[in-house]
Structure 1
Amino acid sequence: MRIGATKLYAATAALGLLSGAPLDAQGGKNWASYHANPGGDHFSPLGQITPANVAALQPAWRIDTGAGGLQTTPLVIDGILYAMTPDQQVMALDGATGRKLWQRKLPDSNLQPVRGLSCWSSGKERRLLVGAGSYLHALNMKTGASIATFGAHGRIDLRAGLDRPLASVALALTSPPAIWGDLAIVGFRTAESTPAAPGAIRAYDVRTGRLRWTFHAIPRTGQPGAETWPADAWKTAGGANNWAGMVVDAARGIVFAPMGSAVSDFYGADRKGNNLYANSLVAIDARSGRLLWHYQLVHHDLLDRDPPSPPVLLTVDHDGRKVDAVAQATKHGVLFLFDRVTGKPLFPIQETPVPQSNVPGEASSPTQPMPTLPAPYARQRLTADMLTQRTPQAHDEAAKAFADYTSNGPFAPMQVGKPTVVFPGFDGGAEWGGQAIGRGRGILYINANDIAWTGSLAQASGAQGEATYQQNCAACHGMDRKGSPGAFPSLEGVMTRRLEGEVATTILQGKGRMPAFGHLAPQMTALMDYLRHGDAPKSDRAEMAGKTPSTQRFIFTGYRKFLDSEGYPAVAPPWGTLSAIDMNSGRYLWRVPLGEYPELTKSGMEPTGSENYGGPIVTASGLLFIGATVYDRQLRAFDAATGKVLWQTTLPQAGVATPITYMAGGRQFVVIATSNARDAKAQAGSGYSAFALPRR
């Protein structure tokens, strides 16, 4: 960890330069930031809906947005709700009725997820900042029209300025900008295999679109952290990008950004060292982009263990004093807590010995940092006695498969030719929805996945088309192109089911969970040939696809959930949880299963919990609202003090997004985005559902 001196920036707040404060400081009337406020605590001071009356909550309005995935947490400013559709159209709705006020399809829109929007204001001047593909747009909030004086005709191309040829950079802005003063501060999503864009946090002038500063997450030669990479790695290395979003200590002018994994995710022979600032929480001076402090959460990541959600700001009682802190959740199920000014851990962190890789060329880290408190919020090591008991057949299937796996804790590295258990799985632990804070009490609420996945490595192919597929596609769709049920579709026979142009567009622009692979344009002919003839004998495929050596020696064979033959997790429940943690002491207050499979509950099983995506929100009246669960399509209200469900309703689709709450027309509303994109068996659809108490 490197700690730099940090100033208190109260003078900035006193001068009234912190944009967003007037919008956020309206008694909870607005939901003016992606995670409620710049600090990202998912907290609302509203109290019209209470534990005593929440059972009367009923549907208020609904708007459908068509097929596709929808993960957007909307904004509400002065009664107007701003949201996205699955194909990245922006719309404004009357927050009290759902009536559409305007809708705008951006010229750069595609099918990448957009999880939120940002609003900037200064006096009476306001603008909406929205990501579409690789562009950041500034829109007039009254009409949706582009603001021509921002960037080039209302947009900024985020591919520019990354020390790579523009055509070779593939990125998307899936999480919205953090706003501080007159700056829009952004990261981006990029590929998880080479080549990938090099991670950077950049601040743009909200009025003009001019670049004001850049923090390079892969240090330049001679900069602190460069010694944790091979020489001149910044010229070719990629990843270490902020895709999950950021939060801001507005009064101090500190940006907190969790940084993603370096590529390639699962084989790091070409990036020996700890790879700062990948897999780190970094604190950056919002004025200049200067690094203030950092803490690396995973050294030399080999398991895609990058932080999955923005951190959250809170105040805790620690050693007899109030401490302004920042908490960062992880995919591997542990929670880090730091003094947000100094970066000092508030609970001890131990460098713990971990299993070492035996893959040729690899040099894994001998230790990984593990906090002593709080205890992990997801199970850490799968053993034979933790396998499913759902039925005797399911248990026997799981035991037979498990006997052929390596299961050795959350940092057991991949092997060549033998599956390794990844537990918690690749989707967490925590996921991108973020956490909520019981403000003033230091209580953190977190939902988590608790199922196992598996993965392995294989020797890379030498044929160009097959090598391109292995390096860029196999991680999700598998070396055998069969995909993974419910998560990644099969590509077997895809060229007979889809037009070639449709397949090529999806590859180049991305769709849903799949990032864009624009850099593959020169290899598209060979890749298409491989997809078309992938079932041919390997010797014939090599002739069809040409012979160009792969750039990687070993390839990840694909994400695989550890499931039984009926598609249920092969580990014992709970498969998803919701927890309340007292961050003053690190002690758990309660933990409950989150989600269920309705058919299992109907058969007599206790609720098992399920996969969940999207986070919770908490209100001053003591309610916690969360959707998130994939298979039961429920929106639930919990008693934040006890974890008891006080109200729930079935949504048209799964609420795999973080909800919001706001006031409009004198009523408190709860709104959540819904879609069935994560449930392959469910009918396609998406939209926004609003709930409120009956009119008096």
Structure 2
Amino acid sequence: MKTRPASRTLVISGILIALLGLLIGGGGARLAALGGSFYYLAAGIGIVLTGLLLIVRWRAALWVYALVVLGTLGWAVYEIGFDWWQLAPRGDIIFLLGVYLLMPWITRRLPRGASLPLAATLLLAAAVGIVALLTNPHDKSGSIEAASLDLPANAGMPDDDWRHYGRTLAGDRYSPLKQIDGGNAGKLEVAWQYQTGDVRGPSDPIETTYEVTPIKVDDTLYLCTPHNYVIALDAESGQEKWRYDPKVPIVPGLQHLTCRGVAYHEAATATGQTCQKRIFMPTADARLLAIDATDGRPCQDFGQNGAVDLTQGMPNMTPGYYYSTSPPVVANGVVIVSGNVSDNVSTTEPSGVTRGFDVNTGKLLWNWDSGNPEATTPLPAGQHYTANSPNSWSVSSADEKLGLVYIPMGNQTPDQWGVQRTPQAELYSASIVALDIKTGKLRWVFQSVHHDLWDMDIGGQPSLVDLDTSTGRRQALIASTKRGDIYVLDRTNGQPIVPVHERPVPQGDIPDERYSPTQPFSDLTFLPRRPLEERDMWGATMLDQMVCRIMFKSARYEGIFTPPSTQGSIVYPGNFGVFDWGGVAIDPVRQLMIANPDYMAFYSRLIPRAANDTGVAPGEQKANEAGTNEMMGTPYRVQLNAFLSPLGLPCQAPPWGYMAGVDLRKSEIVWQHKNGTIQDSSPIPLPIKMGVPSLGGPITTGGGVAFLTSTLDSYIRAYDVLDGTQLWQARLPAGAQTTPMTYRSAKSGRQFVLVVAGGHGSLGTKAGDHVIAYALPKASS
């Protein structure tokens, strides 16, 4: 009577194991037919055989499974070496099943000695796992030999302040403050907290998010919220001074609801007009507001009662399809505003025109329309700018001495179909454009992607720095890009300082589409060391990893710039970007760059549209950049998503995010460390450091400390700029997909580090409305 239950246990176990083997073997057969690895087919056969032998109680059952374990171990190490996070999904089910087969209710009903080979192979696998845990194959260690340049004081910018989005018009995100340094950064603590009260509503778009970097002028902080509230806070205490609500309506066409920041202008002398100190902010309903910085009231002498209507001259003006999410540039008496045009909705969109307005009156001074680039005089009433022209949705920089504003350009929508693009659109898409601040006339253009079919906009604010090179000091512009290349240009003429080379890229087969035969590659790059391969596929288990391998082999992929296809194409780096709007931070004194590169593959597929399919009418869809995009006016829709497993995990192996340091004098990446944990991205909130993506940029300081808040886990972290050592971290109450800032308060003399933690709708980080200031304890500061 005692034998029967034990035999039943073996039979049931054997059947379940055989079924698992059939599942693995079936998927393996599909993968092998696609030209992929034969491992899963072989492993599936071995597991089926193990189950069948277990049913008949043969000693060979565990011996066969020992061969499966040994074969898995050899195959895994051969494919990816001693990389724990790659080994784990290859062997998790195999190892755990092996442990189950060594349980007494299995082994005591098999002949003596049956378990010894399996036990030995599992011990070997465990030893390999321990070695892999102690190995870090992805980090690059090093220390930058910092320069120490004497730079002229920044006229009109006190060291204590942060008066522009990137602190200065140069967009370097560098503060000369030194109170917080490598020796005391670990002592930072919360100094004050404030909540804006602006939270997501049920009718808001998915990407309702805080991406704001506040500015600080004298004793006041200024920031905006997703619904375009403008708020002034006391820089010492965080107490609210005033707020202004422009009453922005929420319409279905909005793809985003965010505000990255505001701009500030102070008249050099009192001129008698109202609002000597002004805050400028564009709104989600396409207005440019001027607000008195002292009391939050509209500046009545600017435009009409403090507002300029940015829909003037706009063609195809569906509400929500044109607005600006980024702060304007105020330079040499001109307020320069660009705007976001909705991505991938249709071929009949508003214009991507950039305009310059008088800082006092709001009068239109010039317009630069990439569809008609020579005509910069103000557009006459009743006429329209060029429809659907390339736009600039990010933050621009300016050099007031040179009289130039530097515009990072996006694409002509739709991103994945370029048949109808004009020669002008081809010239200015995915480019840095330098315009004369006073006239809007084009001075030079540099393009980072030819005929962009991948949504590789230049998202980051260009950073300006006087750079020491082998040929002397150069007036440089540093442009980070979604594709991962860093372009170092002479900002006077747009010519590369770091060499750029044209290289052949894959070609496509969509009818009537054209493809650039080459693309420009910079010698300073964060491009992945090699293209993705099947062995780079990942998952929580061998099963979803196998599915990811099948998906990878079923798609088209020939490395970077694999074009869109009806088959489905892997886009890597993905259009989330190696670098997006957060850009990079430049230390002009030490001549180094701090960066937070991301590595996430995306998947796109063109879906042919039926002849009578006209799509969804403008204004009737809730626009969203993820999922299936309409691309009305083209023969296709496009499916566009992150490349994920059936469990929703990245199909591409970690790390997905880093912090990195670059010696700009040598154009060399000196250190690069995986950054961030899966604490807020996994079902079990464990702070395992795998390196996660970040959306938002770093800052750096005279104290040699860099700060970042924008990883998918809710932390603020401090790093040593020379070698990347993490100096400090603190838990945040919500996601902080923003760029932080730092300033010093005259009242206490304390240096504060400020972060806005409000979450990001598209990334799914925790929502909030928090503004948090950190500082050293009062006794230490």
Relative to the length of structure 1, the TM-score reads 0.80
Q: Is the 8 A contact 2:662 2:670 kept in 1?
A: yes
Match of 2:297 in 1: 145
Deviation (angstroms), 1:314: 1.3
Q: What SS class does the counterpart of residue 275 from structure 1 fall into?
A: helix
Give 1:363 shift: 1.0
Q: Write the deviation string for residues 290-327 of structure 1: whole angstroms up to 9, x where unpaired.
A: 11111111111111111111110112222330111001
Question: Which residue is equivalent to 2:635?
Answer: 553
Equivalent in the alignment of 1:74:
214
Residue 119 of structure 1: how far off its partner (Å): 0.3
Contact 2:679/2:687, CA 8 A, preserved across alignment: no
Structure 2 residue corresponding to 1:203, chosen from 336, 356, 361: 356
Matches within 5 A, 1:8-23: 23=156
- 2:473 is aligned to 322
Structure 1 pair 109–323 and aligned structure 2 pair: CA distance change class (3 A): farther
Letter in 1 for 2:258: P
- Equivalent-residue separation in structure 2 for 1:165 and 1:387 (angstroms): 43
Distance 1:395 1:470 in 2: 40
Q: Distance in 2 between matches of 1:42 and 1:131?
A: 22
SS at match of 2:426: coil
Matched residue, 2:554: 404
1:255 correspondence with 2:405: yes
* Counterpart among 752, 756, 768 of residue 669 in structure 1: 752
Q: Deviations over 1:434-476 (max 9, x none)?
A: 2101112321111122011100101124556744489976873
1:62 aligns to 2:62 (yes or no):
no
Counterpart of 1:288 (choices 430, 439, 443) is: 439
Shift of 1:349: 1.3
* 1:485-509 superposed Cα distances (whole Å, 9 cap, x missing partner): xxxxxxxxxxxxxxxxxxxxxxxxx
- Matched to 1:421, the amino acid is I
User: How far, CA to CA, are the matches of 2:685 and 2:478 in structure 1?
Assistant: 40
In structure 2, the CA distance between the partners of 1:109 and 1:474, relative to structure 1 (3 Å rule), is: closer
Indicate the residue corresponding to 1:154 in structure 2: 306
Q: Secondary structure at the match of 1:271?
A: coil
- Is the contact made by 1:380 and 1:423 (CA closer than 8 Å) also made in structure 2? no
Answer with 614-623 or 359-368: which moved more.
Answer: 359-368
CA distance in 2, matches of 1:107, 1:375: 44
Relative distance call for 1:470 and 1:269 in structure 2 (3 A) is farther
Matches within 5 A, 1:325-344: 325-344=476-495
Does the aligned pair in 2 maintain the 1:35–1:42 contact within 8 Å?
yes
Which residue, 706, 724, 738 being the options, matches 1:643?
724
User: What's the secondary structure of 1:402's corresponding residue?
Assistant: helix
Residue in 2 that maps onto 1:623 = 705
2:288 is the alignment partner of 1:136? yes
Contact 2:696/2:739 (8 A) holds in 1? yes
Q: Residue 382 of structure 1 is aligned with which of 532, 543, 563?
A: 532
> Highest CA radius of gyration, 1 or 2?
2
Q: What is the number of equivalent residue pairs in this alignment? A: 593
Is 1:120 the counterpart of 2:265? The answer is: yes
1:607 corresponds to which of 689, 706, 709: 689
Amino acid at match of 1:83: L
Q: 2:649 aligns with which of 544, 568, 577?
A: 568
Q: 1:625–1:635: 8 Å Cα contact kept in structure 2?
A: yes
Match of 2:500 among 330, 349, 352: 349
Distance in 1 (CA, whole Å) between partners of 2:459 and 2:572 is 15
Q: Verify the 8 A CA contact 1:89 1:109 in the aligned structure 2.
A: no
Distance 1:648 1:605 in 2: 12
In 2 relative to 1, CA 298–380 (structure 1 residues): closer, same or farther, beyond 3 Å? farther
Match of 1:8 in 2: none
SS at match of 2:465: strand
Q: Offset at 1:369?
A: 1.0
Q: What residue is the counterpart of 2:141 in the other structure?
A: none
For residues 539 and 259 of structure 2, the distance between their equivalents in structure 1, rounded to whole angstroms, comes to 39
- Larger mean CA deviation between 595-604 and 171-180 belongs to 595-604
Q: Match of 1:98, as an amino acid?
A: G
Residue identity in the other structure for 1:454: Y
Q: Is the 8 A contact 1:91 1:100 kept in 2?
A: yes
Question: Conserved in 1, the CA contact under 8 Å of 2:526 and 2:597?
Answer: no
Q: 2:369 touches 2:389 (CA, 8 Å); kept in 1?
A: no
Residue matched to 1:414: 564
List gaps (5 residues or longer) in structure 1. Answer: 1-19, 224-233, 482-548
Structure 1 residues 460, 644: closer, same or farther in 2, change over 3 A? same
SS of alignment partner, residue 385 of structure 1: helix
Q: Is the 8 A contact 1:239 1:260 kept in 2?
A: no
SS of aligned partner of 1:476: coil
Structure 2 contact 678–686 (Cα < 8 Å) conserved: no
- Quote the offset at 1:634 in angstroms: 0.7
Measure, in 2, the Cα distance between the counterparts of 1:354 and 1:607: 35
Residues 1:58 and 1:387: Cα distance change in structure 2 (over 3 Å):
same
Q: CA separation in 2, counterparts of 1:114 and 1:336?
A: 27
Q: State the alpha-carbon separation in 1 of the partners of residues 246 and 622 from structure 2.
A: 28
Could you tell me whether the CA contact under 8 Å between 2:316 and 2:387 is conserved in 1? Answer: no
Amino acid in structure 1 at the alignment position of 2:412: A
Shift of 1:682: 5.4
Q: Return the match for 2:597 from 428, 448, 473.
A: 448
Specify whether residues 51 and 358 from structure 1 end up closer, same or farther in structure 2 by C-alpha distance, changes over 3 A only: same
Deviates more, 1:632-641 or 1:338-347: 338-347
Instruction: Output the amino acid matched with 2:199.
Output: A
Structure 1 CA distance for aligned equivalents of residues 686 and 324 of structure 2: 44
1:590-623 superposed Cα distances (whole Å, 9 cap, x missing partner): 1111222027798999622112111011000100
Query: Where in structure 2 are the equivalents of 1:498-537 lying within 5 Å?
Result: none
Give the SS at the match of 1:403. Answer: helix
Q: Distance in 2 between matches of 1:191 and 1:94?
A: 36
1:102-251 maps to which residues of 2 (within 5 A)? Answer: 102-108=242-248, 110=250, 112-123=257-268, 125-133=276-284, 134-162=286-314, 164=315, 170-192=321-343, 193-219=346-372, 237-251=387-401
- CA deviation digits over 1:22-62, x for unaligned, max 9? 652x12x1110011100000000101111111111001111
Decide whether the 8 Å contact of 1:140 with 1:147 is kept in 2.
yes
Flag the 1:395–1:366 CA change in 2: closer, same or farther, 3 A: same
Which secondary structure state, in structure 2, belongs to the residue aligned with residue 270 of structure 1? coil
3-state SS of paired residue (2:548): helix
Range moving further from structure 2, 86-95 or 454-463: 454-463
User: SS at the partner of 1:396?
Assistant: helix
**1:217–1:278: 8 Å Cα contact kept in structure 2?**
no
- Against the structure 1 CA distance between its residues 437 and 629, is the aligned structure 2 distance closer, same or farther, given a 3 Å change threshold? same
Deviates most, 643-652 or 247-256 = 247-256
2:317 and 2:620 mapped to 1: Cα distance?
A: 21
1:153–1:165 distance in 2 versus 1, CA, 3 Å: farther
Amino acid at match of 1:596: T
Task: State how far apart, in whole Å, the 1-side matches of 2:363 and 2:618 are.
Answer: 38
Task: Tell me, in whole angstroms, the C-alpha distance in 2 between the residues paired with 1:221 and 1:94.
Answer: 45
**Cα distance, 1:627–1:67 mapped onto 2, change above 3 Å:** same
Aligned partners of 1:682 and 1:243: how far apart in 2? 23
Larger deviation: 382-391 or 333-342?
382-391
Work out the CA distance in 2 between the residues paired with 1:635 and 1:646.
11
**Residue number among 431, 437, 448 corresponding to 1:297 in the alignment:** 448
* Cα separation, 2, equivalents of 1:169 and 1:270: 23
Matching of residue 86 in structure 1 with residue 231 in structure 2: no
Q: Does 1:591 align with 2:672?
A: yes
